[in-house]
Amino acid sequence: MSHHDDRGPDSTNEGGADRAPRDARGDEHRAASDVPVGESPGEVESDPRGEEILEFWETARVRAGEGKVGVVTGFGISATVPPPAWSFGDNPVLADGLLAAVLSGDKTATSSSHWEYGADVPLPQVGELSIILDGDGHPRALIRTTSVEVVPFDQVTADFAAAEGEDDRTLDSWRAGHREYFSRVLVGQEFRDDMPVVCERFELRFPRQR
């Protein structure tokens, strides 16, 4: 699934200048992590990356006041099952750029093609927590979905485009970037101006804005 950002690495997070710049517009990607997060704690703990996510969740859930979410029987890290962990974008540079925009407070929304969801991939739900990974698969942020709306591409509002925090935050640039991306990546479907788009807003729960 996909989500969009046209920001270059020099405007994202630390170390971004050392990465190769993106040469194409894209849409953000609610890409599922290959770490078995959300499965049984024992299975997650057998993977070093899973352990890192569990450790992040232990800290984030307390700092964000989410201590009662996902609690299962047990103690320590194995006492909780973390929410799904995923990265924005379809490449490490895009993942880092979008993550940086979230951490800075510039980005409080994301969009994806409704066609990418189905029985096996449910739509995001209001109140749902997610752990956001950086381009190297390390957990960096905890977000909570605050609203989800499916609207035709050509009816996405200027307010939502601004909330995505990309480019100059105008609706024109949002449409240009997303039209290019969807035209490039859609499989089995062709871009249309009336294609359904999942417009998701979220709040950053951890780390808190300073």
Please state, in angstroms and rounded to a whole number, the distance separating the CA atoms of residues 134 and 63.
20
pLDDT greater at residue 70 or residue 169:
169
Q: Which is more confident, 176 or 47?
A: 176
Q: At 160, list the tokens.
A: 């939502």
DSSP string, 49-64: HHHHHHHHHHHHHHHT
Query: Of residues 113 and 167, which shows the higher confidence score?
Result: 113
Band of pLDDT at residue 184, cut at 50, 70 and 90: confident
| pTM for this predicted structure | 0.75
SS3 content of the chain, % helix, strand, coil (to 5): 35, 20, 45
Q: Where are the beta strands (DSSP E) in 95-192?
A: 109-113, 129-133, 139-152
What does the pLDDT read at residue 143? 97
Q: Is 194 exposed, middle or buried (0-12, 13-18, 19+ CB in 10 A)?
A: exposed
Evaluate if residue 127 carries a pLDDT over 60: yes
Determine the Cα–Cα distance for residues 197 and 59; give it in Å rounded to an integer.
Answer: 33
pLDDT in tens, 44-58: 455 778 999 999 999
The residue ranking higher by pLDDT, 9 or 106, is: 106
**Strand residues in the chain grouped as ranges (E):** 31-32, 85-87, 109-113, 129-133, 139-152, 196-206
Q: How far apart (Å, rounded) are the C-alpha atoms in residues 108 and 202? A: 5
3-state secondary structure at position 28: strand
- pLDDT tens by residue, 75-88: 444 446 899 999 98
Residue 28 is predicted with a pLDDT of 55
Distance of alpha carbon 33 from its chain centroid, rounded?
Answer: 11
In angstroms, rounded to a whole number, what is the distance separating the alpha carbons of residues 186 and 194?
A: 14
